[in-house]
Amino acid sequence: MTDFVIPPPTAASLPVSTGTGRFPIRRVFCVGRNYAAHAREMGKDPDREPPFFFMKPADAVVDATGVIPYPTLTSEFHHEIEMVVAIKAGGVDVAPEESLSLVWGYGVGVDLTRRDVQDEAKKLSRPWDWAKGFDASAPCSPIHPVEEVGHPDAGEIWLKVNGELKQRGDLKDLIWSVPEQISYISQAVALAPGDLIFTGTPAGVGPMQPGDVVSGGVADVDEFTFTVGQIPA
């Protein structure tokens, strides 16, 4: 047994839909602007440019339930609903046609964003870490195994704030499909069990206020509801 000099951090994980086990989280990859309408609302060309990715810390992932804290350093706290892919096996330079063999299951998550911080970073050509990788910035539903939900490649993805529909799209409108995303990531780094992929958000991203009730889902995968916490004093 390893003799750590300080107590090791608790491993990040998510519940699974089958049984009491949890899915361990190693890394979190997020693809940017992967629905054409969202790319347009962010002022970009939605044609099939090579996909780009950013990352969140593993412990930014939390259960999408209860109260999600309103973060510091922002007055523009935005929602981005996404389908999430959970990886069960490693791979390097994986071909798209082989990529789905690496998938354990799927969930529904929200890429929470400090939009004002992100906009400032873009202006200054700085990284997005403070905009995307803060505490509790990746609430996610339980993970559902492939045996339960298959490999979703079509179906509604949606998000509501206080019952009002804000985001709506269809998985078939992903610019880069799940197999293509897995393949691209595996060309840059070695994928490993426990990796998560947030696969992109449809149009309609926008702000949340303290006390807002946020709900969302992906057809035939899962749904969630959480409440936004108070602005830190």
- 23-228 folds as Fumarylacetoacetate hydrolase; domain 2 (3.90.850)
Q: What is the pLDDT of residues 123-156, one digit of tens each?
A: 999 999 999 999 999 999 999 999 999 999 999 9
Q: Could you tell me where the DSSP H helices lie in 61-194?
A: 96-99, 115-123, 129-132, 146-149, 178-188
How many Å apart are CA 69 and CA 226, to the nearest integer? Answer: 10
How many Å apart are CA 140 and CA 134, to the nearest integer? Answer: 15
- Three-state DSSP class for residue 79: strand
How many Å apart are CA 160 and CA 146, to the nearest integer? Answer: 26
The residue ranges of every structural domain in the chain are: 23-228
- DSSP letters, 163-202, are TEEEEEEEGGGBSS-HHHHHHHHHHHS-B-TT-EEE----
Q: What's the predicted TM-score (pTM) here?
A: 0.94
pLDDT band for 29, please (50, 70, 90 cuts): very high
